[in-house]
Structure 1
Amino acid sequence: MAYVHLERIFLRRNLLMKIMIIGATGMAGSAVTAEAARRGHEVTAIARSQQHLAQLQNEFPTIHVLAKDAFDLTTDDLAGAQVIVDAFAAGPSEAGQHVDLAKKLVKMYADTTTPRLFFILGAGSLKTGDDKHLFVDDIAQDPKSDAFIAIPKAQLEELHYLQGVKDVNWVGVSPSADFHKGVETDYTTGTDELLVSPDGHSVTTSGTMGVAILNEIEKPQHHQARFTVADRDQD
């Protein structure tokens, strides 16, 4: 039994990676940071706010922090990273920055296999309904959508851009229709269709997203492709 325990520790240590997370203090980014830290990876949390980073580091003392604008990052800042998670989030008036940052990272690491670039995308680019229309079209039907529709549209553009990238090791993930802060649950995955439970729920909590991303980082199942994750209904 002792030998088996030591073997598991050895295997676990050999899985540990250097992971850098851009937008680490946001809802998705902080969940990824927390899960990566809990699993013992070497984590660098990147965000603009030194105060928010200090709060995150107080909760997870083993992580490193870097207070810097995502668009000012250099290869020196990201040196040694095996995985870079793009959890960057912008408001509607700056939604195009989702695409701009993806282009920046791809340009920085063109013709490489390391680091692996992991992009957190939106649900709007997923297909839904019998006619397989894009979920962003449903979002646009919301009378209040003018205030935020620029974000899912930009994330759709980001996915379209990434789908044409063949010289970088990238993967993307989309949450379900309702993406909110919460603890992890059992989950299911898909590819390009919005996941909806038999009782009509389409939910992804931030905790579930963090777990799903770390599982994909540790045991890659997707390459130059997007997948989606949804919480299973809880009894």
Structure 2
Amino acid sequence: MKIAIIGATGWIGSTVMSEALSRGHQVIAIGRDTRKIENTQVEKYTLDLLSQGGLKEAVAGADIVIASIGGRALGNHEIVENTAERLLSELPDTHIQRLIWVGGAGSLEVAPGVKLVTVPEFPVEYKDEAIAQGCALEIFRKSNSSLDWLFVSPAAEIFPGEKKGQYRIGADELLTDNEGNSKISVQDYALALIDEVEQSMHHNKRIGIAY
């Protein structure tokens, strides 16, 4: 399968790219500056999401799109919501029928009606991005686009670590372990994403990934 990864130069996007390649998939790496990508196995396409046009050309030949959009590097969190709207609007006019969105954990519920981003312990430096991701989720849920989308929230703590080869899948509630921790390595998060690419188990909803 050929996977177009938007945001392939970021730390999550690049890990997803490595997981996809390790499992024999082809990758179109899409980003603002793809010169950072040294892997010669991938096709590279430079795309600035702040500009008009280019998306159809960027995903040409792909079977599915994975989008990893943060906005922190640009100091522009509006790009998260704007890109969600853009992909929902423009991808159905291409041959792409499925989108997997790298979501945030802030909109997961720690108690009925209580989102993680609202608790006092939530890190201030991640709050704007978390709110933007929550808004993107609502954009997906309210959309009447024909695109088959999936919003994948990581655990509260996602970190560079080792690949255990295991994870749990939740819904809108924050998954925690027996000690109350909510964690996932970026490697196992990437594993879950590519499992979803291959198995297509969830559609037009949000899922959460954690140990």
Q: Do they superpose with TM above 0.5? A: yes
Instruction: Give the 3 Å change call, closer, same or farther, for CA 112–79 of structure 1 in structure 2.
Output: closer
1:168 maps to 2:152: no
TM-score by length of structure 2 reads 0.90
SS of aligned partner of 2:58? coil
Amino acid at match of 2:84: A
User: Which residue is 2:3 aligned to?
Assistant: 19
SS in 1 for 2:19: helix
Larger CA deviation: 69-78 vs 150-159: 69-78
The structure number with the bigger radius of gyration is: 1
Contact 2:20 2:27 in 1 (8 A): yes
1:155 aligns with 2:139: no
In the other structure, the counterpart of 1:67 is: 46
Gaps of 5+ in 2: none
Q: One-letter code of the match for 2:22?
A: R
Q: Which residue of 1 aligns with 2:34?
A: 50
Deviation at 1:67, TM superposition (A): 2.5
Task: Give 1:118-197 correspondences, 5 Å limit.
Answer: 118-129=100-111, 131-138=112-119, 141-142=120-121, 145=124, 147-166=125-144, 167-185=146-164, 186-197=166-177
Secondary structure of residue in 2 paired with 1:200 = coil
- Aligned with 2:67 (options 57, 66, 86): 86
TM-score under structure 1 length normalisation: 0.81
Question: Deviations along 1:55-86, whole A, 9 cap, x unmatched?
Answer: xx1xxx32211232234432122112211110
Deviation at 1:132, TM superposition (A): 4.2
Distance, in Å, in 1 between the alignment partners of 2:58 and 2:17 is 17
Q: Which of residues 182, 194, 209 in structure 2 aligns to 1:202?
A: 182
Higher helix share: 1
Q: CA deviation at 1:117?
A: 0.9
In structure 2, the CA distance between the partners of 1:221 and 1:118, relative to structure 1 (3 Å rule), is same
CA deviation after TM superposition for structure 1 residue 94, in Å: 0.8
How many angstroms apart in 2 are the aligned matches of 1:162 and 1:153?
14
8 Å CA contact 1:113–1:169 kept in 2: the answer is no
Structure 1 Cα separation of the partners of residues 101 and 30 of structure 2:
15
- The 3-state SS of whatever aligns with 1:70 is coil
In angstroms, what is the RMSD of aligned CA positions?
1.9
How far is the alpha carbon of 1:111 from its aligned partner?
Answer: 6.9
Query: 1:117 & 1:34 partners in 2: Cα distance?
Result: 18
Deviation of 1:144 (Å): 5.8
Amino acid at match of 1:207: Q
Partner of 2:81: 99
- Between the aligned partners of 1:227 and 1:148, the Cα distance in structure 2 is 20
Task: Tell me how far apart the structure 1 counterparts of residues 131 and 34 of structure 2 sit (CA, whole Å).
Answer: 30
* In 1, Cα distance between equivalents of 2:138 and 2:209: 19
C-alpha displacement of 1:51 = 3.2
- 1:80-109 CA distances to partner (integer Å, 9 max, x unpaired)? 221111012211841111010111111102
Q: 1:169, CA displacement in angstroms?
A: 1.1
Task: Give the superposition deviation at 1:52.
Answer: 1.3
List structure 1 runs of 4+ shifted beyond 6 angstroms: none
1:35 aligns with 2:19: yes
